[in-house]
Amino acid sequence: MKQHTIPTPQFVQFELPAASVVHAELLAGLRETPPRIAPKFLYDALGSRLFDAITDLPEYYPTRTEASIFARHGTDMARHVPEGAVIIDLGAGSCEKAARLFPVLQPAAYVPVDISVDYLRDTLAALQQRHPDLPMLGLGMDFSQRFALGATAGRWLHDRALTDQPRCVFYPGSSIGNFMPDEALALLCQAHEVCAAGGPGSGLLIGVDRVKPREVLEPAYDDALGVTAAFNRNLLLHVNRLLGADFAPAAWHHVGLFNAELSRIEMHLQARGPQTVRWPGGERHFAAGERLHTENSYKWEPQAFQVLLQEAGFGEARHWTDEQGWFSVFWAPA
């Protein structure tokens, strides 16, 4: 009997920042007033799995709302996204959002990008077995610092005669909201550079969460089961490993609130009582009730986001939304 070879996707792990650089970034944030930790540190292997669980919660509307937009308008999107494009999936995680679009978009290759390297390796290996004929290249990198495909990915595309194929940078889930507006613009400019290096018809397919009532927004980031709280507190365990610190997660309370003035959800960890957190060579005292800022999620009005896309160099964008106008998916040609 003929045996079939199980395909193995290729994987490139970009050089991640040295431990000293990570330490310096964490310490700088912890020493600020108020203190903060960048949201990328939420996504170790456990954090990534907890986030996947969050997307199944009844309060967390973004995932199912975005999925309904893709289901309803996917065929129309496919009229704008060129068939045979190379899908470059930012913050790919489980890769499932992109995989659900494969039948509609008919990509020539799939390139997921994620900072959680081990998690991406596992999910990509499983996905490759389901789609053995689709070339896949995983990129383990912190694209929040700088997004570029790099020479190794360029050679991979060249070897498969994909250099001149159009590129679709896919950034679903409203993760662009984690960036301050000026940071979001910088990332979108880099995404435009990646698109512009591809063939005609390249562009950006991106999910954007919209402004809506507080009573809808806040439960999505502070659910009744406490999964988001566990996700937020797990960041402390990740920091303990990276920094050699002694944060006690049980000593911190999760806070998720909508800051209407800045049009963003904020996640914080609030000290349940006075405590001192130590790490090699330093410490910080936290007063009872003091907050550690861990994440923002900006909410956009469609017109304002279209302006941002144009500032990043993209052409006239179009977007699709749900019946309630809670969420938008934009296609922006490069």
Short-list 244, 302, 14, CA closest to 141: 14
- For the chain, the domains span 16-54+214-298, 61-212+300-333
Does residue 115 register a pLDDT over 90? no
Q: Is the pLDDT of residue 1 over 60?
A: no
Give the pLDDT confidence score for residue 200 in this predicted structure.
96
pLDDT band per the 50, 70, 90 thresholds, residue 3: low
The H or E element that residue 117 is part of is helix 117-130
Tokens of 176: 């662009």
Distance CA 83, CA 211 (A): 32
The CATH code of the domain at 61-212+300-333 is 3.40.50.150
Burial of 311 (0-12, 13-18, 19+ CB in 10 A): exposed
**Integer angstrom CA distances of residue 107 from 78, 81, 297:** 11, 10, 30
Does the model's pTM come out above 0.85? yes
State the pLDDT confidence band at 7, using cuts at 50, 70 and 90.
confident
Average pLDDT over the chain reads 94
Burial letters 264-278, b for 16+ CB under 10 A, else e: bbbbbbebeeebebe
Cβ-Cβ contacts under 8 Å for 196 (sequence gap 6 or more):
202, 313, 334
Q: Is the dihedral of CA 90, 71, 332, 209 positive or negative?
A: negative
* Whether residue 125 has pLDDT greater than 90: yes
- Taking residues 153-161, what's their average pLDDT? 94
Q: Tell me, what's the pLDDT at 8?
A: 77
Question: Which range, of 21-25, 54-58, 63-67, 306-310, averages the lowest pLDDT?
Answer: 21-25
Confidence of residue 101 (pLDDT cuts 50, 70, 90): very high
Is the C-alpha dihedral spanning 221, 227, 232, 235 positive or negative? negative
Segment 185-216, tens digit of pLDDT = 999 999 999 999 999 999 999 999 999 999 99
299 — phi, psi (to 5°)?
A: -110, 135
Contact criterion met (CB below 8 Å) for 171 and 191: yes
Q: How confident is the model at residue 17 (pLDDT cuts 50, 70, 90)?
A: low
Please say if the pLDDT value at position 43 is more than 70.
yes
Residue 280: in which H helix or E strand, if any?
A: none
Confidence of residue 117 (pLDDT cuts 50, 70, 90): confident
